Structure 1
């Protein structure tokens, strides 16, 4: 698993999109037992924090100590620095395993073996992520150009799984067809720019070229989004949900 997000993890926690309450309501409806959940690749702990509202114990892991140091806290969340593919968890421990915007970084074969080892029989695995941000026709066109033409060559190869909406990720479980969800948030222009600055391709671009491409993109927003405006932004959720064989 790669670690592209330890640097400025405080900003990552600030600008990363959240997930809608209706998504967590749906998860709760399909997981009957609420004893133990694993938030794998927890990042800033936003998913762990929501799961902690309904599960007795939440175990949240990440390979970045910096991310975990800035994660949201609750009494029933246990954070630890561990790779997804090799943990110290017990066999048959989890009712639910969630991977939010992280599974595309994993060694799939090794991770799925760890899922089979640590999940309870009949347990649920949920890989969730969000697609490219949507704001308006004019702004979306500029984001698309920035994404593809300006920083396109700087994305890690794993980014293709997001571009393919997680449909091409191996998923050897009894798949459950889930509803479609769209996350709708109210953002300022500053929040959008902060979010773009967290993109791994932007970080790679800066390291190779010595300047930040988001600065030029900011000028392209002039006339479409001023600093005083709040706009609705939308993130279509990518979702793969499966059940471990109950045998």
Structure 2
């Protein structure tokens, strides 16, 4: 069976963030004036921030991601790198990075954070870890993640696996509660998500795309035709700029 669709599927298959994460971020910010979401992709977090902030700017270096970003009131998208932000000085009450900080030149990025932050602004680096499946699925999936797709992950993936514990973060910490993303998905939806991984793209480029089809085929008898609960533990590295 063919489980994976062609390109342009990031917005369709990536999980969105739980609403409570926005409450955490708003509580950390000095006011609800302006939030800047960096490495925003297609806007999974960006649009949620508009529920609590008067102005939200989503920035991403990829023109394709910005072209496919979800439109929302109070949200403006721009093509911009993390190391040279297209944002005025002292204008951001909250600065967020979701599932992208491990790709940045952090020293250059942090200089830009300090430039655009208002006094007392909050910075949040957010990542969700390795997906968690029900026990009867996890053994086969763990082999796939570790041994089959594992060699195709870029070196930066180790920061995600470590839940950003080893990422440089030179800001006064703010406590953030544990948050979990949870979805009820069919196997087709789960396979679509796997196809958005950077490791999946590299495996295909290496002519090894069959390992993606194989994991879906192997999970199918256990998964069944219905839905299964899929979970991602979320880490919020939160600090005062």
**Under a length normalisation based on structure 2, what TM-score does the superposition of the two structures give?**
0.94
* Aligned-partner Cα distance in 1 for 2:26–2:48: 11
Measure how far apart 1:218 and its partner are.
1.3
1:236 maps to 2:206: no
* Aligned-partner Cα distance in 2 for 1:172–1:57: 26
Answer whether contact 1:33 1:95 (CA < 8 A) is retained: yes
Partner of 1:197: 195
Measure how far apart 1:170 and its partner are.
0.3
* Structure 1 unpaired stretches of 5+: 1-6
* Aligned-partner Cα distance in 2 for 1:210–1:194: 17
* Aligned-partner Cα distance in 2 for 1:62–1:88: 10
Measure how far apart 1:210 and its partner are.
5.0
Q: What CA RMSD, in Å, does the superposition of the two structures yield over aligned residues? A: 1.3
* Aligned-partner Cα distance in 2 for 1:143–1:115: 38
Alignment of 1:91-110 (within 5 A): 91-110=89-108
Alignment of 1:65-84 (within 5 A): 65-84=63-82
Question: Which whole-Å deviations, capped at 9, do the CAs of 1:1-38 have from their partners, x for residues lacking one?
Answer: xxxxxx92x31001101111111122222224111100
* Aligned-partner Cα distance in 1 for 2:175–2:52: 23
1:167 maps to 2:165: yes
Measure how far apart 1:209 and its partner are.
2.0
* Aligned-partner Cα distance in 1 for 2:181–2:75: 24
Partner of 1:3: none
1:14 maps to 2:12: yes
Partner of 2:179: 181
- Number of aligned residues: 236
* Structure 2 unpaired stretches of 5+: 1-5
Alignment of 1:112-191 (within 5 A): 112-191=110-189
* Aligned-partner Cα distance in 2 for 1:180–1:88: 31
Answer whether contact 2:36 2:57 (CA < 8 A) is retained: yes
* Aligned-partner Cα distance in 2 for 1:96–1:11: 28
Question: Which whole-Å deviations, capped at 9, do the CAs of 1:60-113 have from their partners, x for residues lacking one?
Answer: 100111111111111311111000110232111100001000000000000000
